[in-house]
Structure 1
Amino acid sequence: MTEVRVPTLGESVTEATVATWFKKPGDAVEADEMLCELETDKVTVEVPAPAAGTLGEIVAAEGETVGVDALLAHINAGEGAAPAPKAEAKAPAADAGDAQEIAVMVPTLGESVTEATISTWFKKEGDRVEADEMLAELETDKVSVEVPSPGAGILTKILKAEGETVEAGGQLAVLSGGAGAAAAPAAQAETAAPAASASATEDAPSAKKMMAEKGLSADQVQGSGKDGRIMKEDVMKAVSAASAPAPQAAAPARAPSAPQDADREERVKMTRLRQTIARRLKDAQNTAAMLTTYNEVDMTRVMELRSEYKDLFEKKHGVKLGFMSFFTKACCHALKEVPEVNAEIDGTDIVYKNFVNMGIAVGTPTGLVVPVVRDADQMSFAAIEKEINALGKKARDGKLSMAEMQGGTFTISNGGVYGSLMSSPILNPPQSGILGMHKIQQRPMVVNGEIVARPMMYLALSYDHRIVDGKGAVTFLVRVKEALEDPRRLLMDL
């Protein structure tokens, strides 16, 4: 008997959550075959089989928290594991009545998430499916979760329809696997074949379904996902563009008829993510004593420094030098001097954070998300740029995990990328501060008694006045301004 234990998770990481088991007790496994997947607050870790054999008892179930080197399962090796392949070889000859039922369950949704809504079924009852083929898509209040098939067979019964709410760990459907599934008519596979995408890049299943419903082909839709992958939002845009009325020549004037506005309206149910964004933003306004203070920063020296070293920086570190690393560093320095901006209120207590988990607000086709750069105060410029780049890519592709959006202590929101000149950002509870960046614009400034053009940016700090006084908020913003106008202060920790 061989023990399967939690591997080393990384520096300072002491525990993880069992996210998914890819095998069940009794399954034959090969050495180094993936058995399960663990999630830490920083990375996802795959656990390979240390030896070949048959998976015995699973000690740590999905959703459980385990420490480093904790026991996960046992593998039974030796003669007991050998007969399994032979039994599988005989399976096709078995009677159709030998089919086994496989439950399709709601996967792990993430920490503190207890329910989800079924947004799309990609298969219908009677369809043949392969192992790991996408069956359905669920929406939680933060992310979309795809449900893969736990095995090959026939989808015999769908227990929860589209639009229904399901709880974590609940059953979604029943799959008929084994010999009975092998006896399914080959015509089903032929029927399903045309639905497969002919392109090398696999489009989102929900996008495929909508294209089929709307009668659109892939060449009529511009994909915005990874490698041109077509997302559901892309199809919606294509449908809207196709339905837009074409320009017409002016018609002779006639008596106006009663307007039929209802015929020109479209009612779409809010996604769970959009509902959550709306609720959290309104809660922030209702709960916090929110106030915003403003300043402006001369970006000349940051832009000169970036221009001088950007090529060398990218050559050495493999990532572009952007503005976000400067702002992140400047905020980390300011938060050390004004720690209440990095704190939160818990009842009648103030919880001061002796670390900085920097939230970076990112706009995506489905709504605003805030991935978190953990321990940003301990990171270099290169490490910050790499992490922001990786998290931003995940956000746009809809691949952010729950862990990557939790635990932030302060947030930066860059409305300048959309052209915003001035705004008042809303707090991201339970945080007490958020910095708003804006468009860099050439403006006339007085420097040493002369009027010169300077690249200026307005900064806005929204803060919770219950915990942060005006003096602290202004001091924080001035420190950020000073660090950006003289970046050498960041290097010398001034």
Structure 2
Amino acid sequence: MTTEVRVPTLGESVTEATIATWFKKPGDAVAVDEMLCELETDKVTVEVPSPAAGKLAEIVAAEGQTVGVNALLATVSEAGAGETDSAAVEDKTEATSKPEPKSARKDSDNGKMNVTVPTLGESVTEATVATWFKKIGDDVAQDEILCELETDKISVEVPAPIGGVLCEIIAPEGTTIAPKGKLAIISGAADGAVEPAPRPGVEDSTQAKETVAQPARTDIEDAPSAKKAMAEAGISRDQVTGTGRDGRAMKEDVVKAKKTPAPAPASAEAPPAPRAPVPAEDAAREERVKMTRLRQTIARRLKESQNTAAMLTTYNEVDMSAVMELRSQYKDVFQKKHGVKLGFMSFFTKACCHALKEVPEVNAEIDGTDVVYKNFVHMGIATGTPTGLVVPVIRDADSMSFAAIEKAIAEKGARARNGKLSMADLQGGTFTISNGGVYGSLMSSPILNPPQSGILGMHKIQDRPVAINGEVVIRPMMYLALSYDHRIVDGKGAVTFLVRVKEALEDPRRMLMDL
């Protein structure tokens, strides 16, 4: 019996991929879920596992070939395909057509169920085991939370796939583990699922691919995602060592090149000095805590933003009297009708959406040598959580009402603080609002959230004397700060954007009449 191996779904808006590497050749034995090849798109790298055990009969799409979703990659001749026992064939066909979920499989020899890392989301390739809530020997109920994984974007809870006893923890706290990696084993399963066989040779082939790097050749076409990554990072092809077939540059090669510092000229600054010795009496009072993956990612991305974008900040101030009066007048009626409080964030979100229509470059991003203009607004709302700053995204905020925006912000904010955000909640933002005023900040310069080209900083509302019509009056004033990428946003556009936000907030009727 022959089973087809096809291109899996590649994600939103991704319609094709390039065959990066085949880890098996025709005639090789393969196990269920053993990695056959790796596909590369302009966004992510995708592993293609074997759907059945047997031998790799034919490779239809060779390395370097571009294929579409569901295209035929190869065929696998299943083991025992020549058996005449109809009952055995029927059982095998049923097992192939209804595979056991990859998050939990059972070893039929000893009645134990594996607990594996669930799908972590697009572009997330590993996680760290943060906390085990159970210890070896504990009874667990089905769907009871066993442990919590931490990625560079979100935290993921792993439930027990069945009820039983936790008999082994394979990945203790602090372990970094890849998707589908084995976390633990639970005894007590009663189904007939079969644990996937190990993947011999994959690690060796991967190591060989990394260590035996071929020199770059000008007649070899690099992977599309590698070209895009080089353009975004400002890296020349000479700085990248290709590990694909015939020396093709892959996306991972560009990532490695970015991490490898270029040789510094003789006049370059010396590297930072090592940490000075700390007196013993002070060291005893210090506490050293490893940074979480989220904090490491925040640090890395913010520094990358500073190093990549030509970031500049422009400031203005807004008289909040009109917004505060309107909110005070209608907040009770608003909450009674819509079931959510009327806050300031919906006014600022609406004002920014209004201004982005006039100054679209603030809502754009750079992709290589292109500028991508977004004819929609997916508004990122920076939110502080106990583990760090996250930016959940309100999709199509420009077409939402005040009530819909307030509900979305309240719901995303609650999920962020409880660590329940999904990967989809954090992706696709085109512009960001950061409200440092809730912590008492009077003035700051927010850092861009790449690849976005603009971020608005809100600050504390403070009564200040201002001159109006030749008289000094006290008004509730707020400083606004717009940080923008000067590579595509000129000073005129940035100032115009901030002025439009100011005008919309000082006279909210302008938003209703689209002025």
Q: Shorter-chain TM-score category?
A: 0.5 to 0.7
Residue 172 of structure 1: CA displacement? Answer: 1.1
1:163 alignment partner AA: G
Unpaired segments ≥5 residues, structure 1 = 1-12, 16-64, 67-79, 81-96, 181-257
2:434 alignment partner AA: S
Residue 259 of structure 1: CA displacement? Answer: 6.4
Who is 1:161 aligned against?
172
Equivalent position to 1:451, from 467, 472, 478 = 472
**Aligned-partner Cα distance in 1 for 2:145–2:114:** 15
Who is 1:465 aligned against?
486
Who is 1:375 aligned against?
396
TM-score with structure 2 setting the length: 0.61
Equivalent position to 2:407, from 352, 370, 386 = 386
Residue 179 of structure 1: CA displacement? Answer: 7.2
Residue 14 of structure 1: CA displacement? Answer: 11
For the 8 Å contact 2:113–2:189, the answer to whether it is kept is no
Who is 1:350 aligned against?
371
Classify the secondary structure of the residue corresponding to 2:284: helix
Who is 2:348 aligned against?
327
**Aligned-partner Cα distance in 2 for 1:125–1:443:** 62
Give the % identical residues. 78
Tell me: CA distance 1:392–1:179, structure 2 relative to 1, closer, same or farther (3 Å). closer
Equivalent position to 2:148, from 128, 137, 140 = 137
**Residues 1:266 and 2:287 are matched in the alignment:** yes
For the 8 Å contact 1:104–1:175, the answer to whether it is kept is yes
Residue 127 of structure 1: CA displacement? Answer: 2.4
Who is 1:411 aligned against?
432
Classify the secondary structure of the residue corresponding to 1:146: strand
Who is 1:337 aligned against?
358
Residue 472 of structure 1: CA displacement? Answer: 0.3
2:352 alignment partner AA: C
Who is 1:86 aligned against?
none
For the 8 Å contact 1:437–1:459, the answer to whether it is kept is yes
For the 8 Å contact 1:99–1:177, the answer to whether it is kept is no
For the 8 Å contact 2:162–2:189, the answer to whether it is kept is no
For the 8 Å contact 1:98–1:179, the answer to whether it is kept is no
1:153 alignment partner AA: G
Residue 133 of structure 1: CA displacement? Answer: 1.5
For the 8 Å contact 1:99–1:178, the answer to whether it is kept is no
Who is 2:196 aligned against?
none
**Residues 1:401 and 2:412 are matched in the alignment:** no
Who is 2:112 aligned against?
101
User: What do residues 72-106 of structure 1 show as CA deviations (whole Å, max 9, x unaligned)?
Assistant: xxxxxxxx9xxxxxxxxxxxxxxxx9851211110
* Root mean square deviation, CA, Å: 2.2
Who is 1:288 aligned against?
309
TM-score with structure 1 setting the length: 0.64
**Aligned-partner Cα distance in 2 for 1:477–1:417:** 20
Residue 178 of structure 1: CA displacement? Answer: 4.1
Who is 2:504 aligned against?
483
**Residues 1:277 and 2:298 are matched in the alignment:** yes
Residue 124 of structure 1: CA displacement? Answer: 2.4
For the 8 Å contact 1:98–1:178, the answer to whether it is kept is no
Who is 1:150 aligned against?
161
Tell me: CA distance 1:99–1:129, structure 2 relative to 1, closer, same or farther (3 Å). farther
1:307 alignment partner AA: S
Classify the secondary structure of the residue corresponding to 1:295: strand
Who is 1:474 aligned against?
495
Who is 2:444 aligned against?
423
Residue 144 of structure 1: CA displacement? Answer: 1.1
Who is 1:253 aligned against?
none
